[in-house]
Amino acid sequence: MTERSYEKFFRQNRLPHLWCPGCGNGIVMKAIVQAIEKHEGYTQDNTVIVSGIGCSSRASGYMDFDTLHTAHGRAIPFATGIKLARPELNVIVITGDGDCTAIGGNHFIHGCRRNVDLTVIMFNNNIYGMTGGQASPTTPLGKKATTAPYGSVDRTFDSCKLAEAAGATFVARSTAFHVQHLVKTIDEALDNHGFSFIEALVQCPTAYGRRNKMGDPAKMMEWMRDNAVMKTAWDKLPDEKKSEEKFPIGVFYKAEAQPYDAAYHHVIEIAGGAAQ
Ligand code: SF4
């Protein structure tokens, strides 16, 4: 079998991966390397992948770049440190919904606020998978989890709205079903000099789907196909047609603002000048 060009970005000796059969994490991981491959300026030597803890965060171990598998919720602070110390590097963060919006919630908000030049890809499986199936901030209202056996009573975060409100300069959503769209969206995010946030919905047949009677992995992907609405179409939908299950995908926000490392190094320059 001939090796596909993006396969060089995987540590073949770490495969096969440990994800459950039918899990969507591998689809998003592959989309990331395909976007990197397409993207001029991103090489194995100048790109760093940083992840937190959880099923999705295992991806950093399979990807053949300089990688850092950090503590739960702390991927963004580690990535910020790398970017400030070595601003010439491209830094990508892989995180999950619990890792990013609960345990690491404040790091996420302040990473957006500071516009740190990172590309943060949040694999949203709507639950804590690896740590036991507990409800996460993106578990939909009424859906079951080990900590919500009768259905979650917590309202969910819209993590894209949160990122935009907090100051991120690129905000988008895609899914493991819309692979070409996902690759294109990540590719576009890699162009942004500032905090880029992409929410990638993934099917988790084991911890979420089975508990919520979503059917097999193919059915879960069909659910994404049937309920995702491209942003341009979503914007034209009257409110009464936006049912609870339907959700928009696409690029929601783009802006230009000074990235944090530029501001930080400017201060160092001024301080150095003042000390002389
Ligand atoms: Fe994937 Fe869910 Fe299994 Fe984790 S628990 S590997 S997210 S299917």
What band does 4 get if pLDDT is binned at 50, 70 and 90?
confident
What is the residue range of 167's domain? 9-275
Cα distance between the two ends of the chain: 62
- CA-nearest residue for atom 2, ligand 1, is 204
**Pocket around ligand 1 at a 6 A CB cut-off:** 19-20, 23, 25, 55, 125, 129-130, 204-207
The domain total for the chain is: 1
Given the CA of residue 25, which atom of ligand 1 is nearest to it? 1
Amino acid in the structure at residue 70: T
Mean pLDDT is lowest, of 25-29, 207-211, 240-244, for 240-244
**What pLDDT digit, counting tens, does each position of 38-92 carry?**
998 999 999 999 999 999 999 999 999 999 999 999 999 999 999 999 999 999 9
Match 């069909």 to its residue by tokens: 222
Among 18, 55, 122, 127, name the best residue to mutate to test ligand 1's pocket (greatest count of ligand atoms within 8 A of Cβ): 55
Closest CA to 157 of 212, 206, 102: 102
Is residue 3, in this structure, part of any structural domain at all?
no
Which region holds residue 89: left if phi is over 0, alpha if psi is between -120 and 50, else beta? beta
pLDDT at 2: 65
Is residue 178, in this structure, part of any structural domain at all?
yes
**What pLDDT digit, counting tens, does each position of 78-91 carry?**
999 999 999 999 99
Average pLDDT over every residue of 243-267: 94
- CA-nearest residue for atom 1, ligand 1, is 23
Q: Which DSSP state fits 259?
A: -
- CA-nearest residue for atom 7, ligand 1, is 204
Is residue 102, in this structure, part of any structural domain at all?
yes
Average pLDDT over every residue of 211-227: 97
Give ∠ CA 264-265-270 in degrees, rounded to 5: 100
Is residue 1, in this structure, part of any structural domain at all?
no
Distance 162 CA to ligand 1 centre (A): 25
Given the CA of residue 54, which atom of ligand 1 is nearest to it? 4
d(CA 251, CA 95): 19
Is residue 267, in this structure, part of any structural domain at all?
yes
Is residue 4, in this structure, part of any structural domain at all?
no
Distance 232 CA to ligand 1 centre (A): 31
**Strand order, beta sheet including 47-51:** 66-69, 47-51, 90-96, 119-124, 196-201, 170-175, 247-254, 228-230
* Strand extents, DSSP E, 109-225: 119-124, 170-175, 196-201
pLDDT at 33: 97
**What pLDDT digit, counting tens, does each position of 105-146 carry?**
999 999 999 999 999 999 999 999 999 999 999 999 999 999
CATH number of the domain within which 161 lies:
3.40.50.970
